[in-house]
Amino acid sequence: MVGDEVLFVTDQPAGAAGIALWLTSPDRDRNGLPALRAGMAAGRVLTRFGDVYGPVVNLAARLTSLARPGTALVDAELAAVLRADGRYRLQHRRPVAVRGYHHLRSWALRSRE
C-alpha cells in the first residue's frame, strides 16, 4: 500500500491482467464502489523486505496516472505478451510525455468476453 494506491506483483501476465480487469470492472459502479484505474508494466524488479523496486515500478506508476477511472493501461512489453494470449483486446493509445518518459506508449486493456 502506498497512500490510497495498491501495488501488486505477479509471476504470470494473465494473472495481472485478470486482477486489473476485475479491479476496473464496470460492475464496481453498479455496486456503489468507486471506479478504479490500473497501470501495469512487465519486467524485472528487485524485491527487498516486502517491497519492490526498479524502473518497471515507476513505469507502472506513470501508466496508472494516465489511466482514466475504470480503465487499465499496460506497457509495450506486457501488451505483446497479452496480445499473444488471445483472451484480451488491446487498444493502442497515442504516446505521451510524462516525468521520466518522453514518448510513453500504452495500450488500454479489455477482456474479449
Mean pLDDT confidence for 16-37: 88
Domains annotated on the chain, with CATH: 13-111 (3.30.70.1230)
pTM exceeds 0.85, yes or no? yes
pLDDT digits (tens, 9 = 90+) for 87-112: 999 999 999 999 989 999 999 999 98
8-state DSSP, 86: S
Percentage, residues of the chain above pLDDT 70? 96
Cα angle value 2/5/7 (rounded, 5°): 80
d(CA 70, CA 52): 25
